[in-house]
């Protein structure tokens, strides 16, 4: 919402500075996005008169002008404008001035060998219009030598404020002035309404759509003369970015911005019979004033005559019945449109306008007669003509609830103790009716004891619904900055931790993944149907998605990470290491999952390694085990099995399980068909860790670990080499050996695998290193032999024999 300082003064009697007005607007909740003074950029431009104009000796299209600037000797200026001539009064940019349109700094320069001391300017060069065919022509009596911004009235600051959706009353300059007056920054001037009685019956209009257009008021004016609007009106509209069109159209725009009341003017000569507000018919179309055609349906409110639709009710008029310079008879429409209907129609047509912005927020339903009277008076004053009577069809809804309000709520809800007298003054300044009532509900004087205040909201405040809204009005005008900062009460002592075990686990996993050089990604929880189908399909589909590409609740985090990886690779990334902690949405509920995706180069090319090395399934397995260990899973008991799923490469993937049924993670290479669905080439390794499946620690609340106490005695290592069947997984042998003597054996690891000479066919040699940790005393040879026998016996149960 934009307005100028002079425009504000039309409604507000104040001597406040621009800075004070801006500060007050911010204080009362009307955020100032900017204040501009267009005259500042034109300070170096003056009103000047051309004394003589002679053809340039070196150029047919240039003239050498002698220009009077009112300061003594005339200046010589070279000009190429076709309308430059002796006697013309225009605008001269002096050396040192900056041309707003292109940022060029003017200076004394030779043009085709002739010295030029500035530039005579066009409207486009000064960003005052689109005319670039010639220099600006001012009236002959314009004061030569005067600063052009002073002469043109351009030193009028323009405020640009952000109006929240609930403040429909501030979509007009008068509403803003009312708020400033209530805040103590001046006095609100009375609104001058001079109704035009008119002669004869009013125009033939009717509303047949009580839901979409409850009230349709209209008045005709005959014998008008349309054309360019007065200079003051054009200047005011131009200052806020509105393009003047004609007097009739400019009047409707002026009233809309000035008072927040949209109107529409029809050329009566283009209408066919009665004008009716009704529902559109299927298949009807309208060519709107923006030059576009819109297909209508039965839910939309339109204004139509016997032949065609002329207006998308409350949003935009039609081009066919618009006013031109030849228009002589007009019909002025002032209607009330239901905000919800306006919003739905605008959304369907994807059509925005200044009128829609105001109607869908809710204009003042009781301002129909006054709004029509003000517009008609302006038409007659500026265009002449004679008015008809007023036709009123339908009735606008009554807005203005009666609210019982306890003034103590200002402190209990708003945190600020505001005296009752001040609260009453604030509310009345904003247009509310306030009356104290006793316990019997009878009015009493403000100084007498009372039970409650009866507050009646004004018709222009559709957002007021209850006592909390009254508190908001009182507090914002009294000053939100005055609300004291009061800390919440806190129990003595050290605060107890509030993070849940799941939150602690999530934090630890994030830190662990980041420490392993993985980059966290946050992707959408909704994906497209084809993306969900690539990983088995989604169980939940939105009936009303915000986009077809965000329709299915993700059954896996892989699609989002695959798309993120693809974007990175296409932008030149050579190695992508991503992880995401999030939820999957399956038929049996939400599942918390950590997913890792690795693609590109695991290590770059180098003199030792040669070519760059890609990620493999073993990299994925390493990440899975490391992150499971960080999550507190018993990684020593994990078993590697297959059946990772259809999204995985059948020969290069697996699962990590606790027993055959409890799957903690899937890892390996993704299936080529999945990569093709996401337009990815090359190998992609991934991990899915199913956090919900990780068992909690028994007898422990959370994940607190006892303090680390280093052992007092040195650990002992022993090596064993076993001959085992080729099909036996090495992990099974390591797990069996580790469990042979849980008190003494603290670790076991595979450090060699051998097949070949000395190893019979169908077998392999596995070398295992075990670590033994003594407790209170060192191991004796006898102790070590007992342990070794247990190791050999445990391995023998798997068909392993000690290699000689």
Binding site as annotated, residues: 463, 469, 472-473
| Packed helices 420-429 and 467-478: angle between N→C axes, nearest 10 degrees | 90
Residues 6+ apart with CB under 8 A from 281: 296, 298
- How far is residue 441 CA from its own chain's centroid? 47
The answer to whether residues 204 and 274 touch, using CB atoms and an 8 Å cutoff, is yes
Residue 606 DSSP code = B
Diameter of the chain by CA atoms? Answer: 126
- How far is residue 44 CA from its own chain's centroid? 40
Q: Which long-range contacts (CB under 8 A, 24 or more apart) does 726-729 make?
A: 726/755, 726/762, 726/763, 726/764, 728/798, 728/799, 728/800, 729/640
Binding-site entries for Mg(2+): 463, 469, 472-473
Q: How far apart are CA 311 and CA 618, in angstroms?
A: 69
- How far is residue 336 CA from its own chain's centroid? 30
Cβ-in-10-Å burial (0-12, 13-18, 19+) of 609 comes to exposed
Q: How far apart are CA 78 and CA 602, in angstroms?
A: 69
Q: How far apart are CA 790 and CA 329, in angstroms?
A: 111
From the CB of residue 369, how many other CB atoms can be counted at a distance below 10 Å? 14
Q: What is the 3-state secondary structure (H, E, C) of 426-476?
A: HHHHCCCEEEEECCCCCECCCCCCCCEEEEECCCCCCCCCCHHHHHHHHHH
Q: How large is the C-alpha radius of gyration of the chain?
A: 41
Q: Which of 734, 564, 722 is nearest to 640 (CA)?
A: 734
**For the chain, how many residues are written?**
804
Helices and strands (H, E) in the chain, number of each type: 19, 40
Which phi and psi angles does 24 have, rounded to 5°? -70, -40
Residues 6+ apart with CB under 8 A from 775: 713, 743
Residues pairing with 218 in the sheet: 333, 391
Residues 6+ apart with CB under 8 A from 776: none
The β-bridge relationship of strands 639-641 and 613-614 is: unpaired
Strand, helix or coil for residue 598: strand
Q: What angle do CA 238, 239, 240 make, to 5 degrees?
A: 90
Q: How far apart are CA 95 and CA 108, in angstroms?
A: 6
Residues 498-537 as b/e (b if ≥16 CB within 10 A, e otherwise) read eeeeeeebbeebbebbeeeebeebebeebbbeebbebbee
The answer to whether residues 668 and 620 touch, using CB atoms and an 8 Å cutoff, is yes
Q: In terms of DSSP H, where are the helices of 37-107?
A: none
Residues 27-66 as b/e (b if ≥16 CB within 10 A, e otherwise) read bbbbeeeebebbbebbbbbbbbbbeebeebeeeeebbbbb
Write out the E strands in 253-409. 264-267, 275-279, 285-287, 293-295, 301-304, 309-312, 316-317, 329-336, 386-394, 402-405
């Amino acid at each position: 919402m934009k307005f100028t300082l002079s425009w504000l003064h039309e409604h507000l009697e104040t001597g406040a500075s621009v800075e004070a007005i801006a500060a007050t607007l911010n204080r009362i909740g009307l955020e100032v996005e900017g204040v501009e003074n267009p005259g500042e950029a034109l300070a170096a431009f003056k009103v000047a008169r051309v004394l003589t104009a002679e053809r340039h000796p070196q150029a047919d299209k240039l003239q050498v002008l002698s220009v009077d600037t009112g300061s003594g000797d005339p200046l010589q200026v070279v000009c190429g404008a076709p309308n430059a001539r002796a006697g013309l009064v225009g605008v001269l940019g002096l050396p040192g001035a900056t041309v707003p349109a292109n940022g060029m700094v003017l200076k004394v320069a030779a043009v085709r060998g002739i010295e030029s001391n500035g530039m005579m300017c066009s409207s486009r060069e000064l960003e005052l219009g689109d005319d670039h065919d010639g220099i600006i022509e001012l009236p002959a009596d314009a004061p030569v030598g005067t600063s052009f911004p002073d002469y043109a009235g351009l030193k009028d600051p323009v405020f640009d404020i952000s109006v929240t959706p609930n403040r429909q009353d501030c979509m007009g300059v008068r509403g803003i002035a009312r708020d400033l007056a209530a805040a103590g920054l001046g006095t609100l001037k009375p609104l001058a309404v001079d109704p035009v009685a008119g002669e004869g019956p009013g125009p033939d209009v009717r509303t047949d759509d009580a839901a979409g257009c409850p009230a349709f008021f209209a008045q005709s004016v005959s014998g008008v003369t349309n054309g360019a609007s007065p200079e003051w009106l054009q200047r005011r509209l131009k200052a806020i970015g509105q393009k003047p069109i004609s007097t009739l159209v400019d009047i409707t725009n002026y009233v809309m911005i000035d008072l927040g009341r949209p109107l529409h003017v029809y050329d009566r000569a283009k209408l066919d019979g009665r004008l009716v507000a009704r529902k559109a018919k299927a298949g009807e179309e309208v060519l709107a004033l923006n030059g576009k055609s819109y297909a209508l349906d039965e839910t939309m409110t339109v204004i139509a005559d016997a032949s065609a639709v002329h207006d998308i009710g409350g949003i935009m008029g039609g081009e066919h019945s618009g006013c031109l310079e030849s228009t002589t008879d007009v019909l002025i429409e002032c209607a009330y449109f239901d905000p919800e209907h306006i919003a739905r129609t605008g959304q369907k047509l994807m059509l925005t306008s200044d009128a829609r912005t105001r109607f869908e927020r809710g204009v003042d339903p009781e301002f129909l007669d006054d709004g029509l009277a003000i517009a008609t008076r302006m038409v007659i004053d500026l265009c002449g003509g004679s008015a008809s009577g007023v036709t009123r069809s339908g009735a606008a809804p009554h807005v203005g609830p009666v609210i019982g309000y306890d003034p103590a709520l200002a402190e209990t809800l708003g945190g600020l103790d505001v005296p009752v007298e001040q609260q009453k003054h604030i509310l009345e300044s904003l247009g509310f009716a306030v009356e104290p009532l006793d316990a019997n509900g009878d009015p009493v004087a403000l100084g007498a004891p009372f039970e409650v205040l009866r507050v009646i909201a004004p018709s222009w405040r559709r957002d007021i619904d209850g006592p909390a809204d009254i508190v908001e009005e009182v507090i914002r005008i009294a000053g939100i900055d005055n609300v004291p900062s009061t800390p919440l009460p806190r129990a003595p002592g050290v605060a107890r931790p509030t993070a849940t075990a799941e939150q602690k686990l999530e934090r630890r996993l994030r830190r662990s993944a980041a420490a392993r050089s993985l980059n966290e990604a946050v992707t959408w929880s909704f994906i497209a149907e084809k993306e969900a189908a690539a990983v088995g399909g989604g169980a939940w589909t939105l009936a009303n998605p915000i986009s077809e590409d965000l329709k299915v609740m993700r059954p896996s985090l892989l699609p989002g990470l695959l798309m993120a990886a693809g974007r990175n690779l296409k932008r030149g990334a050579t190695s992508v290491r991503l992880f995401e902690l999030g939820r999957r949405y399956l038929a049996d509920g939400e599942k918390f999952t950590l997913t890792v995706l690795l693609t590109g180069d695991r290590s770059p090319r180098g003199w030792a390694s040669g070519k760059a090395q890609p990620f493999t399934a073993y990299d994925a397995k390493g990440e899975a085990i490391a992150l499971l260990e960080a999550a507190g899973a018993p990684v020593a008991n994990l078993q590697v099995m297959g059946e990772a799923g259809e999204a995985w490469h059948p020969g290069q993937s697996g699962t990590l399980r606790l027993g055959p049924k409890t799957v903690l993670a899937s890892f390996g290479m993704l299936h080529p068909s999945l990569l093709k669905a996401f337009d990815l080439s090359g190998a992609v390794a991934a991990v899915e860790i199913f956090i919900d499946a990780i068992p909690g620690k028994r007898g422990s609340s959370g994940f607190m670990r006892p303090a680390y106490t280093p052992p007092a005695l040195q650990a002992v290592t022993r090596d064993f080499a076993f001959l085992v069947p080729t099909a036996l997984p090495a992990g099974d042998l390591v797990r069996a050996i580790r469990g042979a003597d849980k008190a003494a054996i603290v670790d076991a690891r595979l450090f060699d695998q051998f097949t070949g000479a000395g190893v019979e066919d169908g077998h392999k040699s596995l070398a295992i290193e075990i670590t033994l940790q003594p407790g209170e005393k060192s191991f004796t040879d006898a102790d070590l032999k007992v342990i070794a026998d247990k190791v050999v016996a445990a391995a023998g149960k798997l068909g392993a024999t000690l290699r000689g």
